[in-house]
Amino acid sequence: MGKAIAALLGCILAVPALAEGYAPKVGERHAEFTLPDIQTGKPVSLSDFRGKKILLIQFASW
């Protein structure tokens, strides 16, 4: 697990400042979304994880 986290950190070389468009605000609820899981194709919603602390990472494999 530790190696996987390190690998993820390695993929994120720099985190740029948030620009316009997607604009989550501290203190407010994050917008709800439902997207397909890349493994199963089934819908997964942010609210499915209510009750957990989440680190949401938007990225790309390139």
Site string for another protein, 41-60 (x = CB under 8 A): --xxxxxxxxxxxxxxxxxx
Q: How far is the CB of 24 from another protein (least distance, A)?
A: 5
46 in Cβ contact with 33 (< 8 Å): yes
Contact in structure between 59 and 12 (CB atoms under 8 Å): yes
What gap in Å lies between CA 41 and CA 28, rounded to an integer? 29
Q: Which x/- pattern over 1-40 shows residues binding another protein (rule: CB under 8 A)?
A: xxxxxxxxx-xx--xxxxxxxx-xxxxxxxxxxxxxxxx-
Residues of this chain that bind another protein (CB under 8 A): 1-9, 11-12, 15-22, 24-39, 43-62
